Structure 1
Amino acid sequence: MSLNRVGWLVFVCCLSITGCTVSPAQNNSTLANLVVVEPQALDGRFQLELAKLTEIMAQESEQLDAEAMGQLLYRRGSLYDALGLMTLARIDFNRALDYQPRLADAYNYLGIHYTQVGQFDYAYEAFESVLELEPEHPYVYLNRGVAAYYDNRFDLADDDFSRYFSFDPSDPYRAIWRYLGAVELNPNQARQNLAKARLKHSNEAWAWGVVDLYLGIISEQEFLNSYATQGLDVDETLAERMCEAYFYLGKLKQLEGEWGTAAVYFRLALTTNVHMFLEHRYAAIEMDWSQQQANAEKTK
């Protein structure tokens, strides 16, 4: 769910991942023939732009007004974020707001970062600032819903995901997140709403295959063999596609109680290095939680 597209090769192999205590082949035969992708390389264009922006701010800081400096800091922060340098990004977003306090997108990024590190009160505060400055911001309800979801406030998450879905029901990711929030409250109703969305709004977008997987219309192996690896857009890489596929497979395995397999899928999502994608941002949280649950089951 983002940008930065570069092509990659794929290979199929038996899975062996250091650090996971689960034995994938014993839990899910699909993992024995899993598609594994080469990690996405850091975009050289982003690194060059970072260097240029840093040079401009160092050499021309006295000539730049507050608005220009705020925009430059915000842009550099977004580049740091795209490269996975969260601490540097957060510093620049806060500095950008010192110069230009009405930068709604800077607050949105900060809310995401606070969610990633579990500082939910700060995340909610940041997203409220976004809504005050830009009530029609395209992603604030998704991001605030995600914060509520990981804060176990599923009623609030359900409200935000439902609102986000209503803005564009043809977007399968909106249907998926609405389902993930609602399934924690009323699994049967959540599944019915997901099926209704599939019947009424589905199109050629590949992620409707995730919906089919969740509804049991296709198998996990069918999903990997067709939806996940075929029909890439011209500006889409296999690493990006598989980052999403791994993440949503992991969420499915959590719902099925297969915690060890879920942890493997989230670890695979992390290895794609697609830092800008929502699915990559939260894969570490999901992996740790899944591994904790898998270990707890072993001690029973």
Structure 2
Amino acid sequence: MIIRHIRYAVIATALVISGCSTAPTQWTQPPMAVPYQANFQQQIQLARIEQILQQPNIPPTTLATIYYDRGLLHDSLGLRDLARLDFNKSLTINPNQPDLFNVAGVLFTQMGMFDSAYESFDSTLDLAPEHPYAHRNRGIALYYGERYALANEDLLPHYLLNINDPYRVIWLYINDLKYTPEQARTLLQQRYAVSDKKDWGWQIVRMYLGEITEEQFLTEIAEQSKDNQQLALRLTEGYFYLAQTYQNKQDYPTAVMLYKLALAGNVYEFVEHRFSILELNRIFTAEENAAAASSSSSASVK
């Protein structure tokens, strides 16, 4: 069912906005959260960092940490270019930072600079072979770089380290749809069956398997989110992974709408927010290339 035509009965959204109990409201559009805004604490942290940087004779290791911390703050506020500048400054001072290489790799993936992303994740793993996220992030970068077999080599071992993490299962499934499409659903069912099913993210898997409908999935998010923060986080994830299903069906208008909804909460730090931007760029680029090819073909016929 196309999401834009579904009706939802939601309670949580009204509770979040008003702060008090109210009767269920009938919605004729998908639920949304109040977008994240830069909070006072983040602004104070940036101001303090600026003051510290004005001090003379800061030790190099301390300076590298300061630039890294400010880069993380800029990144959390969606200021990607400022974040990259800070990360570059930090790495120039101290190149022995596996976490920074990992973050840089994610940023390169979001920008579609896959070779740079691979190099960054390789650097992370050279410095910290047991890094908890580098294999997953490199696997995702390899997926977007259309190197599905190599992506599986990263994503599958990462999943086996924690079979109860739904997001490891989800990204394996997304890659399996390209790598082994005839087995993707069966593998998803098997991995779901052996999990403990405790994390909220398993609802996404249940939706993929058809155990719950899209309407039930989104209504549950709206009704059961305890506050606006949780609502924003879950909708960012929910809309992104729902968009994936429509994109795989080549329903690009609906996929584009859902990716835009995933961006609406301003949850900049989530990979689902980051990769919504990447997916939109990929869709728009494909459309532009198709239009250019069609125009060129028409011109040659004349």
Does the TM-score normalized on the shorter chain lie above 0.5? yes
Which of 229, 232, 242 is the equivalent residue of 2:235? 242
1:9 matched to 2:17? The reply is: yes
What's the counterpart of residue 134 of structure 2? Answer: 140
Q: Which moved more, 1:202-211 or 1:73-82?
A: 202-211
State the aligned residue count.
273
> 2:52 is matched by which residue type in structure 1?
I
What's the counterpart of residue 266 of structure 1? Answer: 259
1:257 matched to 2:265? The reply is: no
What's the counterpart of residue 36 of structure 1? Answer: 32
What's the counterpart of residue 72 of structure 1? Answer: 66
Q: Residues 155-207 of structure 1, C-alpha deviation per residue, up to 9 Å, x if partnerless?
A: 11122111221111101011000100111021232211111111111322111
Q: Residues 61-112 of structure 1, C-alpha deviation per residue, up to 9 Å, x if partnerless?
A: 41x2111111111111111111111111111111111222111111111111
What's the counterpart of residue 176 of structure 2? Answer: 182
Structural mapping, 1:13-92, within 5 Å: 32-59=28-55, 61-62=56-57, 64-92=58-86
Q: Residues 226-269 of structure 1, C-alpha deviation per residue, up to 9 Å, x if partnerless?
A: 2x334436795211110111100100111223221111000111
> 1:250 is matched by which residue type in structure 2?
A
1:103 matched to 2:111? The reply is: no
What's the counterpart of residue 21 of structure 1? Answer: none
Larger-gyration structure (1/2):
2
Classify 1:68/1:13 alpha carbon distance in 2 versus 1 (closer, same or farther; 3 Å).
farther
Identical amino acids, percent of aligned pairs: 35
Aligned partners of 2:67 and 2:87 also within 8 Å: yes
Q: Distance in 2 between matches of 1:65 and 1:221?
A: 55
TM-score, with length taken from structure 2: 0.83
Aligned partners of 1:260 and 1:291 also within 8 Å: no
Aligned partners of 2:34 and 2:228 also within 8 Å: no
Q: Give 5+ residue unaligned stretches, structure 1.
A: 1-6, 15-31
Note the C-alpha offset of 1:147: 1.0
Note the C-alpha offset of 1:294: 7.2
Aligned partners of 2:33 and 2:228 also within 8 Å: no
Structure 1 runs of 4+ aligned residues shifted over 2 Å read 7-14, 228-237, 287-297
SS in 2 for 1:184: helix
SS in 2 for 1:229: helix
Classify 1:79/1:8 alpha carbon distance in 2 versus 1 (closer, same or farther; 3 Å).
farther
Note the C-alpha offset of 1:44: 2.3
> 2:44 is matched by which residue type in structure 1?
L
